[in-house]
Structure 1
Amino acid sequence: MNDIPLNLPEVGWLDEPRLTAGLDRHQRLDLAAHGRVHPPLLPRDRDDLLALAEAVGLSGRGGAGFPFARKARAALAAAERAGAPPVVVVNGAEGEPSSAKDKMLLARVPHLVLDGACLAAAAFGAEEIVIGVAAGSPGEISVPAALAERELPCRARTVCLPERFVSGESGALIRGVNGLPVVPAPLKTRAADGGAAGVRRRPTLLSNAETWAQLALAARLGPDAYAAAGTAAEPGTILLTVNRPGADPLVVEVPAGTRLGAVLDACGLHPGAGVLVGGYHGAWLHPSDAVEAPLSRAGLSDLGGALGAGAIVALPTDTCPLGETARVAAWLAAESAGQCGPCKGGLPAAAEAISMLAAGAAEPAVLEDARRALGAAQAGGACSHPDGTARFLLTALDVFSRDLDAHLSGSGCGLPLRGVLPLPHTRGARLEVNWSRCTGHGLCAVLAPDLIRLGPHGHPTSTTVPVAPWQEHDARRAVSQCPALAVRLRRHA
C-alpha cells in the first residue's frame, strides 16, 4: 500500500454507492479492505454466468455498449471451434482526456474489477487474464499489487500501453498486448473470433474495467437487487467523470437514468454554454436540453447524444466555444492512427477549417467544407475514431451556432479562450511556422498536405500544428526544404 500513489481520482455518488462503496473510508481497497466492504463472491458455471449477464442487461461501459453475454457467447463458440481456451482481457487503457473512471477503478478498487475478470475466467475456462493499463497511471502499480494478493483461476499479467487516445480502442489494445504497434487494426475484426484479432490468436473476451466490476456486483447482488437501481431497460448504476474547471475531475456513481441536471447541481456546476456528454467521441447538448437529459444510453440517444465513456464537461459561458472546439479538433486529428482516408484527410481538414473559423479568417464555404469532411468521416473509417470525432464536432457546430455566426461575421464572440476542455499536457511534436520569415512559396503545403494548408495569399493558415507520429516524415521534409527556413519541428517531453 505504501507504494500506491496518493494522487488517486476523487469519487462521489448519488444515492447508494456500489462500485464506489468503501471509498468514503479508504483511499484504496486492498484485499483485506475489499473483503470487509464486499461479501464473498461465489463461483458460477458458464451457463449461470451468461444467464446472469443477460438478466441484468449487462452491456459494455466503454463506449459502444455491446451486450456482454452476446460477446461472451461469440468468444466461447470460437474457442470451441478452434479447440483452444479463450483469453479474458480487461481494458483499462483509458486514453480519453476527459474520463478517469476506469483509472479510478483500477487504482482504488482493483479487486472489484479482478473479481469480475476472475469469475468469467473460471466459468469459461480461460487460459489467461490480461489487464491493459495506461503507462504512468496509478493502475500500473495498483493492479500488479492486487494480483499478488489473491488466488487466480489462471495466469494473469498487466500490460502497460502508451497513453494515447487510440490506445483504448479494442483492436489497438490487443495489438499492443501482442507486441505490435498500438494502433487500431486496418480492418475491423472481432476479438471474440480470435485469429489475428485475438491475444496470441486465441478467442478473446474483452471488456472495459467498469464492465468487469459491474459483473462482480451483479454476481453478488443477483438480478433483482441489482435492478433496484437504474431503469427497467438499463438497471444498475453508471460511473461518470465530471470535469470541473480549475479542479481535478470527479468520478461520480449514479443510478442509470438520473437527470443530468441533478449531477451538475451535486457537483456545483451549471449547463453554461452547453454540456458535453460521452467525452470526445460523445455529443454536445444544448443547455435547455441538458438539465432534464436522462443519463442512460436510450435517453441520451433520443436527444442525439451518447453516453460513450461517461465523461461530462459543462462549458462555462466565459470562454470561446469555437476556440475550445478547435483545440480539441486539432488534438483528435493528431491522435489518429492515420491508416484510412477519414483519419489521414478528413479529420485534419475539418480541424483546420474549424481553426480558421475560430480565428475569424474563414468564409461560409469553409464551414460547408468542414461539414462535408465530417459527414464523410462518419462510419467510413477503419475504427470508431473518425465517427466519434465527427459526432463531437458536428454537434459542437450545432450547439454553438450563435458563436459560429459571430465568428463568421468577422467580429468574433469577444470571449477569451480559457482552455477549459481537458487535454493532456503538451507532448509529441508540433510544426511551427514563422510568418515573419514566410515568403509564400507554398512548398510546405505540397510536401505536408495533411499538416499545412495555405490561405488566400499563399501563407499557411496556422502557425502551430500538432504532428502525429505517422505525419513526422512529411513534417521533416517540409522543414528541410522550406526555402525561407520558416518552418521548424519542435518536440516536447
Structure 2
Amino acid sequence: MSAGVTSLPEVPEVRAAGVPRLTAGFDLAERLDLAGHLVVHGPLPPLSGERLAALAEGIALRGRGGAGFPFARKLRAVADAAVRRGVRPVVVVNGSEDEPACRKDTVLLNRAPHLVLDGALLAAEALGARTLVVGVTRDSTRRSTERALDERGLADRRGAGLRARVQRNPHRMVTGESSALIRSIDGGPAKPPGRRVRAAETGVGGAPTLLSNAETFAQLAVAARTGVDRYRSTGVPDEPGTVLLTLSGAVARPLVLEAPSGVPLRYALQLAGAPADPQGVLTGGYHGRWLDPAAAHGAVVSRAALERVGGRLGAGAVLPLARDTCPLGEALPVARWLAGESAGQCGPCHRGLPAAARGLEEVLTGGGPPALEALRQITDAVRGRGACRHPDGSADFVESALVAFADDLAAHVLGGGCGRPVRAVLPLGTGGTGAVDGDAGEVSGRVLTVDWTLCEGHRLCADIVPELLPIGPDGYPSVAEVPVPHRALADAERAVRRCPALALRLEADPRHAAGPEAPGRGRRALRRGRG
C-alpha cells in the first residue's frame, strides 16, 4: 500500500458497493451521452410540482452538498415565494466542489451529466422556472455540462422556454458557498456577500432560487424513475438510498464510492485499501470532523449515525490516516490551506484562520500549554462570527483533530514531539502544493518575511495584505514570516515595493522546497512580535 496521495485525480476511479444507481452505466462508457443515458436509465416521467415535493419528502431527500437541508421544504419555500411575489423562480445546480478532497459531483457532471440535468429540469418544470444555471469551477465539468446542454438543445437564448447556461467560477473553497455562487451568476465576485441571504426568497436576479448540489438533483432523478418504495428499499429507513463518498488520504487507491446508506465505514475504507487499523479518520472533508480509531471502527455511513459518534457526513469526503505519520503535522498544511481560502471579507476569516494555523504550528513547534490554550481561544473566537460558514468549518477541523489525536497532542505539548514524519497524505492539489486546476487560492511556494531591524511600523503592508500581515497591539506586524497564497502574490509583491523602510522580503519557502517534514520542538517557522 502506498503511503498516501497529495492530490486526487480530477475524475478518480468509481466503484459501487451493491447495485449502482447514480453510477449505473459507468461500466459501459466513460461518459454517458444523452442516448446512452436513456438506454441506462430510461425516460423521465413528468411530475407536477406537488408530486415532486411529495416524492422528495417520501425519500427524505436532503441536500448532499454538506448542509443537509430537506429538499422538499426548500422546493416548497421557493414555490411559495414565487407565487407570493408573482415572479418566475430560478434553478441553480451547484457543481463547484472546490475542496481538494471531494470529487463526487465532479464525477457526476463528467460521467453522468444528464442524470443531474434530469433532476434540475424536473424542478424547473415543477416551479415554472425559465432559467437554469449550472455552477462549476473545473474546465472538465464545464465542457461536459455544456455538451450535455447542447445534446438536449438547451441554450441561453432569448425567447427560449428555458434559458440554460453554465457559470464557470474561480476554483476556490468559498466559491461553492451558495450566496457566493448566486453573487457570481449576477455578475459580481464569487464571494459571500457578507450578509445572510435566503436564496429561496431572494436569489439570482432577486428572484426566488432553488439551489442544490449536483448529487441532490441526480438523486431526485433516480427517485422519479424508481418511485418512493423502490428507492427506500436500499439504505437505512431514516436516510434511504445510496450515498457518494470520496475516499482518499492513506489509501491504496483514491476513489469515489457509491454505497447504500448505513454501510459500515470500515468496509468503505477497506474497498479503497485503507490501513486496517487507522489512527484516525476525517469525515466530511476539510469542514468535517476527525474520528478516533474506536469511533471509526464502529461507525456507519449516514448523516445521523456519524453525528452520533462525533463525525460528519458533509460533502462525503472520507480520509483515513495510517499510524506511521504525525496526525497533527498532517492537519497543519490543511489548516494553512483553509486560511488561504479566506474571502478576506471578515475578521474571523482573514485574521482568525491564519492565526489558527499559526497557533497550531506553535503547538507543534514547542509552544507548550500556553500555545495550546491560545489556539483554543482562537478557534472559539472565530466560530459563528463569519460572513459564511468557512470559519466555523475550519475551526471544527482543527478542534476535532486536537480531540481525536489526544495522545499525539500530549507528546507535542508536554514532550519533545511524537517523532513521526509528516507524509503529506491529505490532498492539497497537484504535487502537494495545493494547485488544483489552476487554483489561485493555494500556496505559491513564497513567504513574506519582515526584517525587524528595519521595520518602522508604517503599516502600509497591512493596508495592502491585511490577511497576511495583521497588526499587533504595538502597531507592528504580529508575524515575522507567512506563506503567500497564489491569489495574494501580486499584492505581496506590491507591499514589498511600497514599504518605505525596505523591511519586507519575498523569499522561497524552505518548507516547500524541502518537502514534508515532521514538526519538532524548537523549530519555530513564525515569530511573534518584534523581538
Determine if the alignment matches structure 1 residue 161 to structure 2 residue 132.
no
**Separation in structure 2 between the aligned mates of residue 401 and residue 86 of structure 1, nearest angstrom:** 49
How far the C-alpha of 1:284 sits from its partner, in A, is 0.3
Q: What does 1:342-357 align with in structure 2 at a 5 Å threshold? A: 342-357=348-363
1:334 aligns to what? 340
Q: 1:331-350 deviations in whole A, cap 9, x for unaligned? A: 10110112222112221111
After superposition, the Cα gap between the structure-2 partners of 1:69 and 1:230, relative to the gap in structure 1 and judged at 3 Å, is same
Higher relative contact order (CA 8 A, sep 6+): 2
**Separation in structure 1 between the aligned mates of residue 153 and residue 448 of structure 2, nearest angstrom:** 57
CA contact (8 A) 2:301 2:313 kept: yes
SS of the residue aligned with 2:223? helix
**Separation in structure 2 between the aligned mates of residue 323 and residue 453 of structure 1, nearest angstrom:** 24
CA contact (8 A) 1:445 1:452 kept: no
Q: What is the RMSD of the two structures over their aligned residues, measured on CA atoms?
A: 2.7
**Separation in structure 1 between the aligned mates of residue 76 and residue 15 of structure 2, nearest angstrom:** 35
**Quick one: which amino acid aligns to residue 447 of structure 2?**
E
**Separation in structure 1 between the aligned mates of residue 65 and residue 504 of structure 2, nearest angstrom:** 43
2:315 aligns to what? 309
After superposition, the Cα gap between the structure-2 partners of 1:146 and 1:433, relative to the gap in structure 1 and judged at 3 Å, is closer
**Larger mean Cα displacement after TM superposition, 22-31 or 213-222:** 22-31
1:98 aligns to what? 101
1:397 aligns to what? 402
Q: 1:423-457 deviations in whole A, cap 9, x for unaligned? A: 1334555652569x7648484989446434899xx
**Separation in structure 2 between the aligned mates of residue 487 and residue 410 of structure 1, nearest angstrom:** 34
CA contact (8 A) 1:442 1:459 kept: no
1:27 aligns to what? 30
2:385 aligns to what? 380
SS of the residue aligned with 1:373? helix
**Quick one: which amino acid aligns to residue 368 of structure 1?**
E
CA contact (8 A) 1:243 1:250 kept: yes
How far the C-alpha of 1:367 sits from its partner, in A, is 1.2
Percent identity of equivalent pairs? 48
Select which of 371, 379, 402 maps to 1:366.
371
SS of the residue aligned with 2:381? helix
2:447 aligns to what? 432
How far the C-alpha of 1:177 sits from its partner, in A, is 0.9
How far the C-alpha of 1:21 sits from its partner, in A, is 0.6
2:241 aligns to what? 236
Determine if the alignment matches structure 1 residue 411 to structure 2 residue 408.
no
How far the C-alpha of 1:45 sits from its partner, in A, is 0.6
**Separation in structure 2 between the aligned mates of residue 334 and residue 410 of structure 1, nearest angstrom:** 30
After superposition, the Cα gap between the structure-2 partners of 1:269 and 1:445, relative to the gap in structure 1 and judged at 3 Å, is farther
1:145 aligns to what? 147
**Larger mean Cα displacement after TM superposition, 239-248 or 185-194:** 239-248
**Separation in structure 2 between the aligned mates of residue 283 and residue 375 of structure 1, nearest angstrom:** 16
After superposition, the Cα gap between the structure-2 partners of 1:466 and 1:248, relative to the gap in structure 1 and judged at 3 Å, is farther
CA contact (8 A) 2:254 2:272 kept: no
Select which of 491, 494, 506 maps to 1:488.
506
**Separation in structure 1 between the aligned mates of residue 307 and residue 184 of structure 2, nearest angstrom:** 32
TM-score by length of 1: 0.90
CA contact (8 A) 2:250 2:274 kept: no
How far the C-alpha of 1:467 sits from its partner, in A, is 3.9
**Larger mean Cα displacement after TM superposition, 257-266 or 476-485:** 476-485
Q: What does 1:179-198 align with in structure 2 at a 5 Å threshold? A: 179-194=187-202, 198=203
CA contact (8 A) 1:89 1:129 kept: yes
Q: 1:24-83 deviations in whole A, cap 9, x for unaligned? A: 221111111111110211110111111111111111000000000111111111111221
Select which of 284, 288, 297 maps to 1:282.
288
SS of the residue aligned with 1:29? coil
CA contact (8 A) 1:445 1:453 kept: no
**Separation in structure 1 between the aligned mates of residue 387 and residue 381 of structure 2, nearest angstrom:** 13
SS of the residue aligned with 2:14? strand
**Larger mean Cα displacement after TM superposition, 476-485 or 249-258:** 476-485
SS of the residue aligned with 2:240? coil
After superposition, the Cα gap between the structure-2 partners of 1:13 and 1:255, relative to the gap in structure 1 and judged at 3 Å, is same
Length, aligned pairs only: 479
Q: 1:352-372 deviations in whole A, cap 9, x for unaligned? A: 1112222x2313112111111
SS of the residue aligned with 1:371? helix
Determine if the alignment matches structure 1 residue 323 to structure 2 residue 305.
no
After superposition, the Cα gap between the structure-2 partners of 1:340 and 1:383, relative to the gap in structure 1 and judged at 3 Å, is same
**Separation in structure 2 between the aligned mates of residue 193 and residue 400 of structure 1, nearest angstrom:** 43
**Separation in structure 2 between the aligned mates of residue 389 and residue 320 of structure 1, nearest angstrom:** 19
1:223 aligns to what? 228
**Quick one: which amino acid aligns to residue 345 of structure 2?**
Q
After superposition, the Cα gap between the structure-2 partners of 1:368 and 1:254, relative to the gap in structure 1 and judged at 3 Å, is same
1:173 aligns to what? 181
How far the C-alpha of 1:461 sits from its partner, in A, is 6.0
CA contact (8 A) 1:274 1:399 kept: yes
**Separation in structure 1 between the aligned mates of residue 94 and residue 296 of structure 2, nearest angstrom:** 30
How far the C-alpha of 1:193 sits from its partner, in A, is 0.4
After superposition, the Cα gap between the structure-2 partners of 1:405 and 1:382, relative to the gap in structure 1 and judged at 3 Å, is same
Select which of 287, 306, 310 maps to 1:300.
306
Determine if the alignment matches structure 1 residue 41 to structure 2 residue 44.
yes
**Separation in structure 2 between the aligned mates of residue 324 and residue 282 of structure 1, nearest angstrom:** 15
After superposition, the Cα gap between the structure-2 partners of 1:150 and 1:484, relative to the gap in structure 1 and judged at 3 Å, is closer
**Quick one: which amino acid aligns to residue 227 of structure 1?**
R
SS of the residue aligned with 2:329? helix
After superposition, the Cα gap between the structure-2 partners of 1:386 and 1:7, relative to the gap in structure 1 and judged at 3 Å, is closer
SS of the residue aligned with 2:64? coil
How far the C-alpha of 1:249 sits from its partner, in A, is 3.0
Select which of 211, 229, 234 maps to 2:216.
211
CA contact (8 A) 1:431 1:465 kept: yes
**Separation in structure 2 between the aligned mates of residue 372 and residue 462 of structure 1, nearest angstrom:** 21
CA contact (8 A) 2:449 2:480 kept: no
After superposition, the Cα gap between the structure-2 partners of 1:304 and 1:257, relative to the gap in structure 1 and judged at 3 Å, is same
How far the C-alpha of 1:466 sits from its partner, in A, is 3.2
**Larger mean Cα displacement after TM superposition, 215-224 or 400-409:** 400-409
**Separation in structure 1 between the aligned mates of residue 459 and residue 486 of structure 2, nearest angstrom:** 16
**Quick one: which amino acid aligns to residue 157 of structure 1?**
R
Gaps of 5+ in 2: 1-8, 155-160, 513-531
After superposition, the Cα gap between the structure-2 partners of 1:266 and 1:239, relative to the gap in structure 1 and judged at 3 Å, is same
TM-score by length of 2: 0.84
SS of the residue aligned with 1:370? helix
CA contact (8 A) 2:286 2:397 kept: yes
How far the C-alpha of 1:375 sits from its partner, in A, is 1.4
CA contact (8 A) 2:448 2:492 kept: no
CA contact (8 A) 1:438 1:486 kept: no
Q: 1:166-205 deviations in whole A, cap 9, x for unaligned? A: 11100111111111010012101111102xxx11211100
